[in-house]
Amino acid sequence: MRMDVAFCRVMLGGLLLIGGNAHAEDWQVGLDWLKVIAFAAHQTEYSGVFVYQYGSHVETSRITHVVEPDSEFEKLERLDGPKYEIQRHHGQVWCYINQKMVQVDSRQTHGKFPDLLPEQISALGENYWIKETGMERVTGYNAQTILFKPKDSLRYAHKIWAHTDSGLILKAAVLDGKNKVIEQYAFTQLQIGGAIDRSWIQPSDLTDTNLSQASPEMAKGGASANGGWVVDALPAGFKKTMEIQRPMRGRLAPVTQLVFSDGLSAISIFIEPDNGDEGEGDGLFSRGAVNIYSKVMSQYLFTVVGEVPPRTVMQVLDSVRYNGR
Amino acid sequence: MKQEISALMDGELFEDESDSLLGRVKRDSATRDDWEVYHLIGDVLRQPEHIHCGLSAKVRARMQEEPTVLAPRGRTAKHKIHTMAWSAAASLAAVGVVAWMSMQITPETSPQLALQQTALRPASAGIKNKTNEYLMAHQEFSPSTGMNSGAYYIRTAAYQPGEK
């Protein structure tokens, strides 16, 4: 089976060399779309209800995104089950836990949410075949479909439905190697622009006053660092985008987080001293397209999180080593 | 090798092929590791809650400490007896021996198994909280957040029915 895949890849590579020009154009169109999409995600005001599904699990949420001069506000509310809400603003993430909003993350940004970097977008072409796959209708809007097919089996395929006018993503699906949907979300109702509810925006509430009440140790976002950790078996094209020492709830010491990205998916590696809790360590967990693998090795607890297949998070974790200084 | 294991799990191998592969799994520890990894992946695909790895090794270790390796068979043997005892009176004497054996075995094994399950359960609540925090911290830097804003933050919110 694997031999066949390798063989196909060689064949495909050959074909691409011959038809290289045509393909390059496809890529370019795909990459241009991505820039529009990334821009739209930040600059468009919208409010809508979407369904998120993985396996047999289906749930409904409402997302509201408004743009103020120099800043963005976003509210995500789960509409099914127990109340759960996340608000994002100015690099800060607030989460509704135990009847109150608690800040779970804070980062020094310039008012905007983290953007897709140009180098991330160009890296995409190295790791995925990008193809426009036609027009479809989603929630009453016309959408362009774009397929990102990975060049190896260590990552998933992604398909997105982008609104042809605004570039907003109306629907997105993650597919495995057999084209089976692993998770998807789709708007069922969406208002783009117009009068969008802003009553929930309370800038004074979302600043330092609540911060002290919530959890003081979370106030600072974490410092960038280089702890000397090396990962040998990352899939090709994953580049390190971040390494920080971050506080995490319930931990005494800061946790080291390394982030690697191939432009579409990311892999985070968390490293913390093992507190010896029985049974908390080794294990594999999945939620939708995200797989999480934890393992205790030489008194550290390693946790790898990524929108990549289980095999990949396991392979990555097993290749982390300390490059002693 | 790996694709053979995968094929075996999917039931795509012929009988003689599976026999020789299973033989190899038994003998070779690297192959056995692959075998376990594939099953772990399969388990997590079918049931995405936290799956412990190395569980079979732990169970094996526990079984070594058990008074008899036959232990897990106790239940099936007993179950069979019920049906057989009613239908075939002629073999009552033989059944009696087996029933006596299973009574010797079951009282000891079942509490052990129950113990093992309760030992695993409390940990999963802690793991769930931790998992949400890892997801939250990860989501912040994922390119998916740059592309479709915060919709994927819903991954940190997903709950299982039955959760408070």
Q: Is residue A97 in a domain?
A: yes
Of residues B66 and B36, the one with the higher pLDDT is: B36
Of residues A32 and A317, the one with the higher pLDDT is: A317
Q: Is the same domain home to A11 and A149?
A: yes
CB within 8 Å: B157 and A280: no
What is the C-alpha to C-alpha distance for residues A161 and A172, in angstroms, rounded to an integer? 6
CB A263 within 8 A of CB B128: no
The mean pLDDT value for A189-214 works out to 68
The mean pLDDT value for A127-139 works out to 92
The mean pLDDT value for A252-273 works out to 91
pLDDT per residue as tens digits for the range A42-55: 889 999 999 999 98
Helices B92-139, B73-87: crossing angle, 10 deg rounding: 140
Q: Is residue A127 in a domain?
A: yes
Q: Is the same domain home to A97 and A228?
A: no
- Selecting from A172, A280, A290 the residue whose C-beta is nearest the C-beta of B148 gives A172
The torsion angle over the Cα atoms of residues A135, A136, A141 and A144, rounded to 10 degrees, is -40
Please indicate if any CB of chain A lies within 8 Å of the CB of B52.
Answer: yes
pLDDT of residue A305: 96
Q: Is the same domain home to A173 and A302?
A: no
Domain final residue, candidates A192, A211, A246: A192
pLDDT of residue A209: 39
How many CB pairs (< 8 A) connect A and B?
A: 194
Per-residue pLDDT at A149 exceeds 70:
yes
The mean pLDDT value for A95-120 works out to 64
Of residues B131 and B126, the one with the higher pLDDT is: B131
Say how many domains are in chain A: 2
What is the C-alpha to C-alpha distance for residues B57 and B59, in angstroms, rounded to an integer? 5
Q: Is the same domain home to A58 and A138?
A: yes
pLDDT of residue B144: 78
| DSSP code string of chain B | -HHHHHHHHTT-S-HHHHHHHHHHHHH-HHHHHHHHHHHHHHHHHHS-S-B-TTHHHHHHHHHHHSS-TTTTHHHHHHHHHHHHHHH-GGGHHHHHHHHHHHHHHHHHHHHHHHHHHHHHHHHHHHHHHHHHHHHHHHHTT-HHHHHHTTGGGGGGT---TT--
Per-residue pLDDT at A193 exceeds 70:
yes
> With bands split at pLDDT 50, 70 and 90, how would you rate the model's confidence at B94?
low
Residues of the domain holding A149 = 2-192
Q: Any idea what DSSP says for residue A248?
A: -
The mean pLDDT value for A162-189 works out to 94
Q: Is the same domain home to A267 and A156?
A: no
Please indicate if any CB of chain A lies within 8 Å of the CB of B126.
Answer: yes
Residue of chain A with shortest Cα separation from B1: A2
Please indicate if any CB of chain A lies within 8 Å of the CB of B33.
Answer: no
Q: Is the same domain home to A181 and A261?
A: no
Chain A hits for B145, CB-CB cut-off 8 Å, are 113-114
Q: Is residue A164 in a domain?
A: yes
Q: Is residue A42 in a domain?
A: yes
The interface predicted TM-score of the complex, written ipTM, equals: 0.81
CB A309 within 8 A of CB A154: yes
By three-state DSSP, how is residue A289 classified? coil
pLDDT per residue as tens digits for the range A11-35: 444 444 444 455 566 666 777 888 8
Of residues A199 and A103, the one with the higher pLDDT is: A199
